[in-house]
Amino acid sequence: MQIIISNSSKEPIYEQITNQIKSLILAGELQEGTAVPSMRKLAKDLRISVITTKRAYEELEKEGFIYSIVGKGSFVAEQNLELMREKKLKVIEEQLIAVITNSREIGLSLDELQQLLKILYEE
């Protein structure tokens, strides 16, 4: 499991960990039922304190990404990928509506907006 944390980032370290593990799960790199390293092992590997990995795992557990069995460790939970995708899509829709509203305000045409989106997407 590859995780890269940055000490100079504004994002707290535990959040960097949760986000990266989430992405790994959503991208299918971490399959359901796979064991994730114990929080103490992960802390040592990342050279950070145990309380930070503990916090990250607690968040992941709360959001249903992993589950823990006492004495055995933590594992990737079953994910309803379809549902997640739908949720994400809804968020994207809302954000796009906001973009459209803003564009209309400054008189940006659909063509121009599409072009802008194309450039940014391919960046």
Partner 1 sequence: MENVVELKSVTKNFKGFSVENIDLQVKKGFVTGFIGANGAGKSTTIKMIMNLLRPDSGEVKLFGLDYTAHEKEIKERIGFVYDSNVFFEGMNLKDIKRIVAPAYKHWDDTLFYQYTDQFKLPLYKKIKTFSKGMQMKASLAIALSHHAELIIMDEPTAGLDPIFRRELLDLLQELMIDGNRTIFFSTHITTDLDRIADYIAFIQNGELVFNQSLNDVAENYALVKGGMELLDRDTEKSFVHIHRAPTGFEALTGNIKAVKNTFGDSVVIEKASLEDIMYYFKGGIHHV
Contacts to partner 1 by CB under 8 A: 10, 12, 14, 38, 40-41, 43-44, 47-52, 54-55
- Give me the phi and psi of 46, to 5 degrees please: -85, -5
State the nearest-atom distance from the C-beta of 81 to partner 1, in Å: 31
Closer residue to partner 1 (CB): 71 or 107: 71
22 close to 39: Cβ distance less than 8 angstroms: no
Task: Give the CA dihedral 117, 120, 122, 123, nearest 10 degrees.
Answer: 170
Closer residue to partner 1 (CB): 22 or 55: 55
Closer residue to partner 1 (CB): 70 or 119: 70
C-alpha Rg value of the chain to the nearest Å: 19
